[in-house]
Structure 1
Amino acid sequence: MGIAENAALIVVDVQEGFEEEAYWGARNNPEADRNIAGLIDAWQSSGRPVVFVRHDSPKPDSPLRVGQPGNGFKGYVEERRGKGDGPGLLVAKYVNSAFYGTPDLKGWLDRCGIRQLVVVGIQTNMCVETTARMGGNLGYEVFVPLDATYTFDLAGPWGWTLGADELARATAVSLHGGGFAKVVTSAELIAAAG
């Protein structure tokens, strides 16, 4: 796997509000935070660009709404922001895709000549998947290290429910099998970017 010198790491919604289990329910992949931190470190030490995306929820009961402690980045992300020699960006959004945030992510990527994206963060089947799908649709080469994402159990129509692991697998199959992104591991990306 070839990782470009200017491949951008897109860190999606790694916010304190996702720690509120009473609101979200059970999560999967307890190693995700360690893997996200490792990728940020690898990207920053190599001078590659890192984009931090924050979800500013408009929902009045959401732990991610502006003005609430849960809107802030998790501590390990906040302490890494602004570090490294590569370019960086903070995108605020209120929908699933980081491409519908402020400032304009696509415009910034294109001005920087970036054609490769690595998308990590929370939730696997929501904002990570939507951002990866849009990135693929827009012509970027997208990688999703599944072990650097996590999600929560979810209820759908007709009483159907899926566990977090099932949702993560469905996302991996849809993204990889559908040609939107290459689903890989954090270790593979860190080795390729080294």
Structure 2
Amino acid sequence: MKPANAAKTALIVIDVQNGFRHPTHWGASRSTPECEENIEHLLKAAREYNKKQGEDAEDKSNAIIICHVHHHSIYPDSLLHPDARLEIDGKVVEAVQPQSFAQPEPLEPVFIKDVNSSFIGTELEAYIKSKGVRQLIIMGLTTDHCVSTTTRMASNLRVVSVTSPTGELDEGDIVLVDDACATFSKGGFDAETVHKVSLASLNEEFAEVVNTKDVLHGVFGY
């Protein structure tokens, strides 16, 4: 993990959508109750960092790129289908819409997928490469599905890698924020176990797994 002024950095915010607020649809329990608050902190830190860079920050070499990925299922019975609705706090909302704290700002691109990987059927890989990104910071829902698949493919596709004229590969950095992602109980295992085992299988092979405080300090200098 590197400071934002030392490596072109992108935040990838995956599937932070209303559909995942349903209390029972995805599982009997959910891990990481602090997940949403931490994602909000990281988004705020990235946006404040960019404001310090001045106007048109997205065009500056040291600005942080903020990418949002949303899931639009092709299956009508999915709670993340574009036609799905659910009631939250007495109001009926579109399930595919982002949760209020994760609303994209005007200069933040949104990529729509219908599978687990954020790189299949989207322009995310091309966008990251076009911006010269050398460090990804990944967060969102859910740890063992779309977050894990995206992290694995980011590594396998070498989306933040560059090859020198002599053929030497510099793989860049892929960072996964453990307390800014969450999942649900399944297969007889409680949610925290599913979450922790999923992270353990990614750490030091597909990504560097860190926590929100690590990122706030190491990337943004807080």
Q: Does 1:145 align with 2:182?
A: no
SS of equivalent residue, structure 2 residue 109: strand
What is the distance in 2 between the residues matched to 1:23 and 1:171? 21
Corresponding residue number in structure 1 for 2:116: 96
SS of equivalent residue, structure 1 residue 145: strand
SS of equivalent residue, structure 1 residue 114: coil
Deviation at 1:132, TM superposition (A): 0.7
Gaps of at least 5 residues in structure 2 are 51-63, 85-93, 161-172
What is the distance in 2 between the residues matched to 1:3 and 1:174? 25
Given candidates 165, 179, 193, the residue that maps to 2:192 is: 165
Corresponding residue number in structure 1 for 2:102: 77
Deviation at 1:27, TM superposition (A): 0.8
**Kept after mapping to 2: 8 A contact 1:91/1:101:** no
Amino acid paired to 1:171:
S
Q: Does 1:37 align with 2:40?
A: yes
Corresponding residue number in structure 1 for 2:212: 186
**Kept after mapping to 1: 8 A contact 2:10/2:136:** yes
Q: How does 1:7-46 map to 2 (within 5 A)?
A: 7-25=9-27, 26-46=29-49
RMSD of the TM alignment (CA)?
1.4
Gaps of at least 5 residues in structure 1 are 156-160
What is the distance in 2 between the residues matched to 1:101 and 1:122? 19
Instruction: Compute the TM-score of the two structures, normalised by the length of structure 2.
Output: 0.78
Deviation at 1:58, TM superposition (A): 1.6
What is the distance in 2 between the residues matched to 1:4 and 1:115? 10
Corresponding residue number in structure 2 for 1:158: none
How many residues get paired?
182
**Kept after mapping to 1: 8 A contact 2:151/2:207:** yes
SS of equivalent residue, structure 2 residue 199: helix
Name the larger-Rg structure: 2
Amino acid paired to 1:147:
D
Greater helix percent: which structure? 1
Amino acid paired to 2:193:
E
Instruction: Compute the TM-score of the two structures, normalised by the length of structure 1.
Output: 0.89
The percentage of aligned residue pairs carrying the same residue is 33
Corresponding residue number in structure 2 for 1:129: 148
Deviation at 1:191, TM superposition (A): 0.8
What is the distance in 2 between the residues matched to 1:134 and 1:164? 24
